[in-house]
Structure 1
Amino acid sequence: MRVIDQLLQAVRGAAVYNPEVQVAPACILWPDHDRQWEAVIPRLQAELPELFVLGDYAPEQRTGPAIWLRCVVAGKIEEVAPPAHRPPILYLPGVSRQDLRAIESCPEPLKPLAELQYRGVIWSQINAKDWTILAWLKTDQGGLGLDVAQDQEARKAMQLALYRLLDEEVERLRDKRLDKDYFNTLLTGGDPVRDLLQWLDQGENFLADRNANERQAMVEVCKSQLGFDPAKQGILAGAARLASRQGPWQGVWERFCEAPLRYPGIPAQIRKCQPPSGSLVWLTAAPVNHGWPQWNESQENILRRELQGLAEVAAPAARQKLAELEKQHGFRRELVWAELGEAPLALALEHLAVLAGITASGLVAGTAADLADRYGQQGWQADDALLRALAKVTAPADLAALTAAIRAVYLPWAEESARYLQQSVAAAGYPGGSIVTRKVAPPQPGECLMFVDGLRFDLARRLQSMLTAKGYEIGQRPYWVPLPSVTATGKPAMAPILASPELGEGTAGYNFEPMTSYLLRKLIIEQGWQILERNDNGDGQGNAWCEFGDIDHEGHGRGWKLARQVDPLLEEIRDRIMALLAAGWGRVRVRVVTDHGWLLLPGGLPKIELPACLVDSKWGRCATIKQGAATDEHLYPWYWNPEQQVALADGICCYRRGEEYAHGGLSLQECLALELSVRRSAETPEAAEALEFTDIVWKGLRCTVAVAGNFAGLTLDIRRQAGDPASSVVVGTKGLKSNGTASVVVEDEELEGQEAALVLLTADGALAAQVVTVIGGAK
């Protein structure tokens, strides 16, 4: 039961009488000489239709002078008559019980009420004194019997916070010490740390939205709990204490770190402060430094210089240096500055360290098949790490540093593996074969073939992980793409057309295109296949062909910036595959194939000269040589017409200067692809059914939950609509800790008391469990 409910019962309880020996009281008088209750009377009038107030004449507010109140008691004012079954309650601000008892000295305006003390009853303490707030909260007889501090500061805070105290649950108050800190905390909305952080973030704009009582309460809480006076010491002093994280400020700092994006102005305030003299050694990783953005910036600058210095270092030494830098700077990824986007190099370093580790193991040994096997097992992770590292940076200076490190360790590794593959092919032939050796397996009814332009091996593995996380069964098959590794050659070879050696006879290698797009579509349809356009998922009947070409398009258009687009592009492909499976193609499978991979190197691939006078057509990594022209370039048979020779650039070189993204040559990255076969899973994992919410606790707008079952990797969120991520109401979602607990904060105070869905999410955002809750807790 709430405090207000107990108060209403107490006031109304004054009218209880024994009908055997008494008549019903005409009214209940509520004297309040010090006007302690006056601030909450409007709230009580909303709950007590029989409550009237002594004051200026305002009948619409159930307020009027003594003679008007006398008429109310007499039932002469019908428009404001109290309920028939309840006696009127007359609240008398500024009037004490003694003022009514001394009739001869009673002020003239009060005399119409004096006789009511005999026909009515007075709500007062057992000792006949007026009920003060402190007395009613503290006293066992007629009050709540709570543990309340009695010092002057507590009394003052108590009166200011009374209107919020009314909504507190009495049982929750019984084990608390109600002192000035409690009342001030209650007055600030129950979350003084949040208010302090908002003040540090917004400055005077925050205080302008608070009334004088709330501002003073925040000051008093800060003085009491943090030894800090915001009114006198100011924002910068508070920012400096926050950064120093000493004593009770550690808790404030941890709260800031929970949702730093909610307080975007705080880092700028800290930057205005000078770290305490002698307390910081900027070249060390001492924890005392971690709260200062200036220190993090200095560490980023140090790391940037170290990475740039790798431009002149041999690959083995560069790899060792990256491992050392990871030990020195890796921990900064766990600091708040990484979440705020102020440690991009520390974030990229994680992937640079992986890149260094993978490239330390060479791929060159054995046959082309051996090379492909080692690349398929772990070599692809180097290309994946390169992209992930590039995705972390935006600033030109950071890109330059990253470029130096990548070229130091990746370029020689990729160059070595490409040249070894080229030597193997020169000696034993290309393992991808040609149109002469091509074998086309008959399609299975219900199979959908999805062609993705430029789905490189590492991207296919990343897509595989995305689909596996959704519960789909994935089969994989490495294969060699047709030469040269360009769409014009590779796409028709992947299409479901019954090709024969005659298809390539007499076909020229110019532009490496055996047929036009129109002819390709015509042949696909003639084989009985549907062609699904981008927004058409078909009905799962027969066989279907669909395409996705954005990866290669983005690569040619953006260069190294493709790294930032990889995940959104793969998510789009994943969603299309899921839609196809849902449309019925999952009865057999959706088979995902590609035409080629690509090389990506920030700063540009090495340039190799090939005079234009020698070629009919020249792309980034491949060219057709004019008939009769003499050249030292290595020539390879074209897939569609082995009699036609094409030139492929040595190593990972490029025929064009400054190309960061290119394909068409002979390398593992360009030529070894991964086919994925995607099927719907037979059954839903049982892990989701084993989840159970064992505890849900609200403290103000903070909700803490405990979960039992298989909760590993799950995230807690609160939403207005469980299935709509955009309806989230929390400052930030939180992952469940190892003990199965997590805590989130609702951002909007106006939502308190409303129902919402408390949901648990898997790593890919799927709902794992949900339960209805009331924001702020049920009253």
Structure 2
Amino acid sequence: MEVATGTAHWLGAGCQRRSTDQHPSIHRGRGTTEASEGRTGQGSRARSRRGRASKRPASQARAEARGESDVDTMSATMAAPTFLDVLVDALDKAGAYNSQYQEPPAAILWPDEKGQWKGLTPELIRRGVPLYTLGEYEPEERRGPGYWLRCIVDRTIDPPHSERETPILYIPGFGREDVRADEKCPFELRPLAELKYRGVLWNQQNSRDWTVRAFLQNKDTGLGVDVDSDTATERGLIESLPELAHQTQQSLRGAAPIRAAFLDSLVIRDSDRSVLDWLANAEASRSGLRDRELAAFADICRDRYGFDPESADPIEAARLLGQRAAGWETTWARFVEAPHRYSGVVEALREARPEGPPTLFDHPDSWPQDNEDAERRLREGIAGLAKLDSETARTRILELEREHGMRRGWVWTKLGSSPLASVLEHLARLAETTRYPLAGTTIAGMAEAYSREGWRTDIAALDALSAAVGSDAAIVRDAVRSIYRPWLEAGATAFQGAYVAEPGSYVPMPPPTVEEGTCVMFADGLRYDTAMRLTEILNADGIDCTTKPGLAALPTVTATGKPSVSPSAGSVSVDSPRPEGDAVPVWPDSGTKVVATGLRDAIAAGAVQILEGDRLGEPSGRGWAEFGNIDASGHTRGVQFESAWGVELRRIADRIGALVQQGWRRIVVVTDHGWLLLPGGLPAAELPEHLTDFRKPRFALLKPGAPADDLPTFSWRWNRSVEFVGAPSICSFQGGAEYEHGGLSPQECVVPVVSVSGSGDTTQPTVVSHDWRGLRCIVTVDGAAVGTHLDIRTKAGDASSSLAGGGSEVTAEGSVALLVRDDEQEGAAAIIVILQADGRVAARASTIVGGA
């Protein structure tokens, strides 16, 4: 009692020790029924509870307070216990006692003379540990002076922990020997001194304070993990403690012996990214790191990358990056993955380039000025193609491809610094495909050859023209013309010859059969090559489709071709009178011209729904939709149309996707004609206007008795007795236009029929809403069946393009939270897809990662 009495005068009457019956919480503490082994070195509070199961663990009390099942909590913990799990368990066991012989401890005292555990106290509190720290008065942080801690223990103030839990008093800056009930006790600890007898000290079996190293290495209470004894590792244990605490015991044992480099990697999780951030902007990088992160970063730079960020010039480090010095290979790969993120690195590399010409072992792709020099040489090479004949120009293009093609794999292409190297890929493809003329001597043979391979030449030309930007566009157009025009001319001449030799072999395709559940979509001017690209887009969207060739009605203009592919084709007069001004047929009963509005009325009269605008119709019936502005854009913009056709195809694909999602069983895409596109304009052909009733760029109707001379003639689809003359080869009667149609050529006459398979399910799921919270997207869907999957992708139909780890199944509530793990994807365009059980895309919605 002497000690108790001596202690009491420091505490004051209001906080003096109360009897057991004044502490009802104590009776609800933890206990065991095992025999006591006695408590040594700590008065009547012995360490006999070590290693014994408590009657009611504190973890269970905390779980119940949160409304959780203790079984669930423990099973999750024991599956792969972390450093933190083991520590919490050790603190729990520290308060165990034998309820038959001992009173429960009033508190667990945790002395920490070196203050090594301070960085972990916030995490312990978040885990629900009833932890309180000696220090300045900050009750919201569970920190305060000794008198406040005594009030927490004695519950003279209302503490946040339950009465069933034993409070843990963390005492940084003081060791076990400082907790003493005599005059030598530090002033700050005097209110707590008597708890040495009423409570229990948590320390090692050898009575020393628990250090982080000791706890890691201890096989009984701690994790049993070997740790290096050097100073750097000692410092790293403390600096990395918040991250170290979340490592599993298994992973730590696998990394043993724990060394400084491993600990630094926990603090700086992505060292490559951190180094690139530092190279891009050293000052901003430093300001974004905490002290312990700065120290770890400096250690990593010295050990792995061979430079000291505290003294080195960033240009020196950039040179090591560009030279792919030892340890820098993955850093360069990381830069190549997302160069836009590290814009400052580009200029650092520019300044860091070694003097003199590159050697055999250098990396020319590292230095931006080397790529710029190569781009200038390529520009000169492409500019000179227009002066060459087609065969020499093709050879030169392929030589340039061998010299510069590799640069498309360089990082500078991603940054938009190699536009001509990108164009060259398409020019080389064009050079290869124009080596040989289109095969075949008959209409059927040439149509088959064009639909199999010929269209690839046309799409290569379009791709080359589309890729050219700015001032480079002019030289690319000249290059395309130099090798594309002769191939176009040869194909058109041969096709016209085949028609003249056997006119009856040219049979326009019939209109598609419109059954129940079928919607016919008319896309004006959908040339065969663009239809093949549309097929690729639809397949990437997860929509099943096929494309087959047919022959367009003649002449290849909308007035003739559109009625021919419509459901009302059979109602149009095949004895239409000689046209005036254009090849427009008539209705047989009224003799009125078949114009757009009248055609739609006739289609509707046949019990076919007209799906104007964004209407989706009733998918159990039949439908007719018109969509797309390809032909209008071509006439308006000429060769500059190359920048619009890709956008139009995307719009058409989205419209088809909406119809599929609506539940149409089958969508058939048809068109009226193709077209010719030649940079610099189609060559002119002479046909005096006074010899014609009317004259269009690619065909004309001669006056009766006017000679056709050597011009190819062909019969009208709506009256075979009416014959038109076509412009020879790829010429135009009104020369100069770059985009035209109406005549005889594979590009104008061989047209696609795109057949899309829908599900026929009118209860397709839909994306109702999606809300980004950082990189987590909360998606709500409607109509999703059991087994329906949700994902975020860059390509709807490509599972390998998932940004959300493959996605997850829709919950019963119709919502899913998807996490994009790569923060470098923030701001990128993506697609939310609803997938059926068989993996097919049932619905899609565009989004921007992280929100707009």
**TM-score normalised to structure 2 length:** 0.73
Aligned partner of 1:182 in structure 2 is: 262
Aligned mates of 1:174, 1:218 — CA distance in 2: 24
- Once the two structures are TM-superposed, the CA of residue 615 in structure 1 deviates from its matched residue by 6.2
After superposing the two structures, state which structure 1 stretch, 26-35 or 46-55, moved more: 46-55
Match of 1:562 among 641, 657, 679: 641
Q: Which amino acid aligns with 1:333?
A: R
Match of 2:217 among 135, 138, 141: 138
Q: Which amino acid aligns with 2:495?
A: L
| C-alpha contact (below 8 Å) 2:554/2:742 kept by paired residues | no
- Summarize deviations over 1:683-733 as a string: whole Å, max 9, x none: 9xxxxxxxxxxxxxxxxxxxxxxxxxxx99833420777799998754xxx
Match of 2:496 among 383, 403, 422: 422
Match of 1:621 among 698, 715, 724: 698
Q: CA RMSD in A?
A: 4.0
Match of 2:420 among 341, 345, 361: 345
Aligned partner of 2:235 in structure 1 is: 156
Aligned partner of 1:595 in structure 2 is: 672
Q: 1:620 to 1:549 in 2, by over 3 A?
A: farther
Q: Which amino acid aligns with 1:235?
A: P
Identity of aligned residues (%): 37
| C-alpha contact (below 8 Å) 1:473/1:678 kept by paired residues | yes
- Once the two structures are TM-superposed, the CA of residue 249 in structure 1 deviates from its matched residue by 0.4
Aligned mates of 1:256, 1:63 — CA distance in 2: 45
Q: 1:552 to 1:28 in 2, by over 3 A?
A: same
DSSP 3-state at the match of 1:651: coil
Q: Which amino acid aligns with 2:544?
A: Y
Aligned mates of 1:444, 1:234 — CA distance in 2: 73
2:311 pairs with 1:232: yes
Aligned mates of 1:64, 1:540 — CA distance in 2: 71
| C-alpha contact (below 8 Å) 2:132/2:143 kept by paired residues | yes
Pairwise mapping of residues 532-681 of structure 1 onto structure 2 (< 5 A)? 532-540=611-619, 543-577=622-656, 579-580=658-659, 586=665, 589-608=666-685, 617-623=694-700, 634=711, 636=713, 639=716, 640=718, 646-656=724-734, 658-680=736-758
Aligned partner of 2:553 in structure 1 is: 481
DSSP 3-state at the match of 1:664: coil
DSSP 3-state at the match of 2:363: helix
2:530 pairs with 1:450: no
| C-alpha contact (below 8 Å) 2:661/2:842 kept by paired residues | no
Q: 1:344 to 1:728 in 2, by over 3 A?
A: farther
- Once the two structures are TM-superposed, the CA of residue 252 in structure 1 deviates from its matched residue by 0.9
Aligned mates of 2:601, 2:310 — CA distance in 1: 79
| C-alpha contact (below 8 Å) 1:261/1:340 kept by paired residues | yes
- Once the two structures are TM-superposed, the CA of residue 23 in structure 1 deviates from its matched residue by 4.5
Aligned partner of 1:703 in structure 2 is: none
Q: 1:374 to 1:120 in 2, by over 3 A?
A: closer
- Once the two structures are TM-superposed, the CA of residue 428 in structure 1 deviates from its matched residue by 4.2
Q: 1:381 to 1:63 in 2, by over 3 A?
A: closer
- Summarize deviations over 1:743-769 as a string: whole Å, max 9, x none: x735599xxxxxxx999999x99499x
Q: 1:201 to 1:564 in 2, by over 3 A?
A: farther
Q: How many residue pairs end up in the alignment?
A: 706
Aligned partner of 1:36 in structure 2 is: 116
| C-alpha contact (below 8 Å) 1:716/1:758 kept by paired residues | no
DSSP 3-state at the match of 2:569: coil
- Summarize deviations over 1:338-389 as a string: whole Å, max 9, x none: 3343333333333323322222112266334433333233212111221223
Q: Which amino acid aligns with 2:450?
A: Y
| C-alpha contact (below 8 Å) 1:473/1:680 kept by paired residues | no
The structure whose Rg is larger is 2
DSSP 3-state at the match of 2:582: helix
Q: 1:501 to 1:64 in 2, by over 3 A?
A: closer
Aligned mates of 2:842, 2:491 — CA distance in 1: 44
Aligned mates of 2:516, 2:144 — CA distance in 1: 87
After superposing the two structures, state which structure 1 stretch, 341-350 or 178-187, moved more: 341-350
- Summarize deviations over 1:593-643 as a string: whole Å, max 9, x none: 221111112333334466777766554434456789889783635614566
Match of 2:584 among 513, 517, 530: 513
Aligned partner of 1:733 in structure 2 is: none
Q: 1:578 to 1:63 in 2, by over 3 A?
A: closer
| C-alpha contact (below 8 Å) 1:38/1:93 kept by paired residues | yes
- Once the two structures are TM-superposed, the CA of residue 197 in structure 1 deviates from its matched residue by 2.4
2:146 pairs with 1:66: yes
Aligned mates of 1:580, 1:310 — CA distance in 2: 46
Aligned mates of 1:27, 1:163 — CA distance in 2: 25
- Once the two structures are TM-superposed, the CA of residue 525 in structure 1 deviates from its matched residue by 4.1
Aligned partner of 1:97 in structure 2 is: 176
- Summarize deviations over 1:222-280 as a string: whole Å, max 9, x none: 11211122232243333332222221100111222333344444334423x24112462
2:350 pairs with 1:275: no
Q: Which amino acid aligns with 2:463?
A: R
Aligned mates of 2:222, 2:512 — CA distance in 1: 87
Aligned partner of 1:2 in structure 2 is: 82
Q: Which amino acid aligns with 2:96?
A: V
**TM-score normalised to structure 1 length:** 0.79
DSSP 3-state at the match of 2:803: strand
